[in-house]
Structure formats: C-alpha cells, structure tokens
Chain A
Amino acid sequence: MLASEPFFRWSYVAGNWHQIGSDLVQHIELTLIAIGIGLLVSLPLSLVAWRFRLFRPPVFGIASALYIIPSLALFAILGPITGYVASYTTAEFALVGYTLLILIWNTVAGLNAVPDDARQAARALGYSPGAALVKVDFPLALPYVFAGLRVATSTVIGLVTVTALIGLGGLGQLITYGFNAQYYTPIIVGLVLSVVLAAIADLLLVLIERLTLPWARSERQDRGAS
C-alpha cells in the first residue's frame, strides 16, 4: 500500500504553503472565538455559582454535561438546529461547551482560595459584598482563572481538529486530507503545527499573566490534579 511512502516530504510543505497558512489561520480563529465566548459565559456564571450556592448544581451540572458529551456526538445532535456542514455555530457550540467546565471549575476554586483576611479587610474598608467580589475576590482569584485558561486553550487547540469532520477543522483539514490520500506528510504538518501553536499560546498566556498579575508570580501553586 504505502510501503515506499517516505514519512515526510518537504516538497509538500513547499508546494502547499498557502493552503497550510489558511488552515492555520482558521485554526487560530476557531480557537480564539471558543476561548473568548468561553470566558464571557464562564466568568459571570462562576461568580453567580460561587456567591449563591443554590446555583452551583445547575451550573456545574450543565457544564459537566457539555464537557462529557463527545464533540462528535454534539455535532450530530445540534445538526438539525444549527446545520451540519461547515457550520461555525455547531463547531463553536461544541468547543465552547468543552471549555466551560474547565474555566468555571478553576474560577470557583480561585474564589474559594481567597484568604479570609483579605475579605475582612475589604469589609472593614467599607466595600459592599458586590464591590468586594469584583474588586477584591475576583482579582485575587485571577491566577486560578489563568491556570484554567491555559488548560482550556491547549485542549481547544487539540480539539479544533475534530471539527474537520463537519467541514471546518483548521489544521484538522490537513489531517483528514492526509488520511484520505494515505499520505503521512500533511498529517504530520497538522500535528506539529497544532503542538507548536499550543506551546506559543501557552507562552503568551504566561507572559500576559506575569505582566498583568505581578503579585501572583510567587504564589502560583499546584492545582492538585490536572
């Protein structure tokens, strides 16, 4: 079958530069949208779930369900409503759904880890509970939010490839093309670029965290399990 096919052909990379570039751009686009919407949805939900215990079961329940349902299954379940082929809505629903549990979990854990002293000091300074939440608790929880953001980002970058099965996929398109053509090189290009992209994104997040949260550098600790 493929016995003579070399593992990697540089000529493929040289000849398909534009295709690889546009797949990479789509990959970044799908990732940024997913992480952006994931943050917009998860942060208020985390604050609500943390402040009002009543909301914890539904928030964690729905986020867990979206985390647990395989994305391939979500594509087929959402398809009748949002469309099957190359639908950004379908793809992003699955990607965002996957980030929510990671982000909410870390944000709530961060809020729980805020020292009582800080909270009491805020009250003594006359902060209302709402103002303390926004100005004291939340900033102190940010290192945890960043930890969640890092996990969510590298996970989403890997997961975006799966959306190739509904005609999107970013670098995943190189993978499905390589599979259909029985051709190693595009698959390896897709794999390596995904890993490199995740490493760069992680580095950027660490950098942003250091610049925005200079006080957190020495406090960063193991989150327990990963």
Chain B
Amino acid sequence: MHFIESVFHWFTTSANWTGPNGILQLFYNQAKLSIAVVIGALVIGGGLGVVLGHTGRGGLVAVNAANAFRAVPTLALLTLLAIQPNISLTWDGFLASWIALLILAIPPILTNTYIGMRNVDRDVRDAAKAMGLSGGQVLARVEAPLALPFIMAGVRTASIEVVATSTLAAYVSYSDLGTFVISGLNGQDNVEAFGGAILVAVLAAIVAVGLGLLQRWLTPLPMRQAWMRQGLVGNVSL
C-alpha cells in the first residue's frame, strides 16, 4: 500500500503540476505535438486520398505503400531525426518528433480516405453528374460528405497512435508527459513513472473516446445502422 500512497502523494504535490517541467506544461506540449501531427497528416494523407479516390488512379499503389509503413518502427524514425544535427534541436526537438510522427499518422488517414471515396455508390456519383454537377462539385458536395465517416475513422486511428507514440518522443528530445515515464524508469523513480503512465493512459483514453463520439456524430444514421446490422456497434477501424 505504501506505493499507492506515494503515487497519491505525487499527484497531490502542487510542485509537480506547475513550472516548466510540471504536469500542465508537459500536457500542453504533448497536446500541441499531437494536434500538429494529426492536422499535417489530415492535409497530406486526406488530400492525397481524396484526389486518388476521386480520379480512381494509382490508389492501390498508395494504399499498399501506406500499409508497408506500418512495420517501420517509429522509435527508429524518432532517433534518426533526433541525432540529425540540422533538425535535432529545432524548436526544442519539436520538428524532429513532428516529422517522425507524421510518417506514422499519414497511412491510416490516407487508406481510410481512399476507401471511403471509392466506397461511394456509383449510382449516386452518376446521378450527381446527370444533375449537371461538375467534377469539383461532385467531389465537394457528394463524395467528400459520404466519405467523411471513413476519414474520421482514419483520423481516430491515427490520433490514438500519435498520442501513444508521442510519449516515445520524450525518449529522444521532446518534453511531454512521456518524460515522467522515461525519466522515472531511467532513474528508478517508480512513483514518477507510474504517475506519468496514468496521465498518459488517461489522455489516450480521452482522445479515443472523444474522437469515437465525434465519429459517431458525423456518421449518418442509416450508415450506422448498416454497421450495427453487421453486429458491431460503431466502427473501430484498425
């Protein structure tokens, strides 16, 4: 029980919350990095997925290439960039971590966007064309809205991975909630490591549940019912 008391004490010590290495600042750092990564991945992966899905060309190549990236260990990307003298110290290590995590976050968003775009019913697309919509209008008013639930599923998957992996950024150069875990494990301060781990887990859970609700809200009811008919509530895409 002594251990749990120490953890409780760690959380209730106000000095652990404030200052440049306090919980609040490190939480802010992690949120900043994660949000910047997901936005970058949405612009690049989502944009590429929309274009490839709309034209229907080169998509399979892109999806397969994206899948191959799954096996690239992010720790390797993080460390490679973190010892690259030109970028390792840029913005306190932010840039190196941002690039490494971006490479991780693009594939799920690209794949889901492409599949969502290709999943749009051909009849619906033809009907929109017959009504006189131009290619761009079909894309913006028909395909993109119908693909939105899929894009959102990709954003959720990417976000869960990014938040989890951004804790690894603390190992190389960037300070965030992972810093408590890493420095705790290294310095054999098990209480600090445990406290930091709880914070990281709570953050990850908030992101997963929050984006799950957002995804649900953005999914039209008939589509959700079709998914539920398959027996699986919601759509946890992997």
A interface residues (Cβ-Cβ under 8 A, vs B): 1-3, 50, 60, 64-65, 67-77, 79-80, 84, 101-102, 105, 108-109, 112-113, 151, 154-155, 157-159, 161-162, 164-166, 171-172, 175-176, 178-179, 182-184, 187-188, 190-191, 194-195, 197-199, 222, 224-226
Contact = CB atoms under 8 A, between A and B. Distances in A.
Q: Which of B63, B68, B231 has the most CB of A within 10 A?
A: B231
Interface string B51-82: 00000000000010001101111111101101
B160 interface: yes
A105 B167 contact: no
B172 to A, nearest CB: 7
Given A75-B181, A179-B82, 12 more contacts: A65-B205, A71-B164, A72-B167, A73-B200, A76-B194, A79-B193, A79-B194, A80-B194, A178-B83, A190-B76, A225-B111, A225-B115
B190 A80 contact: yes
30 contacts: A2-B83, A2-B85, A67-B160, A68-B201, A72-B178, A76-B181, A76-B194, A79-B185, A79-B190, A84-B185, A84-B188, A84-B190, A108-B232, A113-B230, A155-B71, A157-B71, A158-B73, A161-B73, A166-B185, A182-B83, A184-B80, A187-B83, A191-B73, A191-B76, A191-B80, A194-B71, A195-B68, A197-B71, A224-B237, A226-B67
Interface in B144-190: 150, 153-154, 160, 163-165, 167-168, 171-172, 178, 181-182, 184-185, 188, 190
A80 B3 CA distance: 9
Given A3-B85, A80-B3, A161-B76, A72 B201 contact: no
Given A68-B205, A190-B73, A225 B153 contact: yes
B11 to A, nearest CB: 14
Nearest to B208: A68
A195 B72 contact: yes
Interface of B: 3, 63, 67-68, 70-77, 79-80, 82-85, 108, 111-112, 115, 150, 153-154, 160, 163-165, 167-168, 171-172, 178, 181-182, 184-185, 188, 190, 193-194, 196-198, 200-201, 204-205, 208, 230-232, 235-238
Contacts of B232: 105, 108-109, 112
A68 B160 contact: yes
Contact of A105 (B197, B198, B238): B238
Nearest to B84: A2
Nearest to B119: A224
The 6 closest A-B pairs by CB, nearest first: A198-B71, A225-B237, A70-B164, A76-B197, A73-B197, A191-B76
B80 A226 contact: no
Contacts of B208: 64, 68
B236 A64 contact: yes
A67 B205 CA distance: 10
Nearest to A179: B79
Q: Which of A76, A162, A176, A184 has the most CB of B within 10 A?
A: A76
Nearest to B77: A191
A105 B235 CA distance: 10
B76 to A, nearest CB: 4
A72 B168 contact: yes
A28 B149 CA distance: 37
A70 B163 contact: yes
Contacts of A157: 71
Q: Which of A70, A80, A157, A159 has the most CB of B within 10 A?
A: A70
Given A158-B72, A161-B76, A184-B80, A102 B185 contact: no
B132 to A, nearest CB: 32
Contacts of B236: 60, 64, 101, 105
A218 to B, nearest CB: 18
B161 to A, nearest CB: 9
Contacts of A65: 205
B109 to A, nearest CB: 11
B119 to A, nearest CB: 8
Contacts of B194: 76-77, 79-80
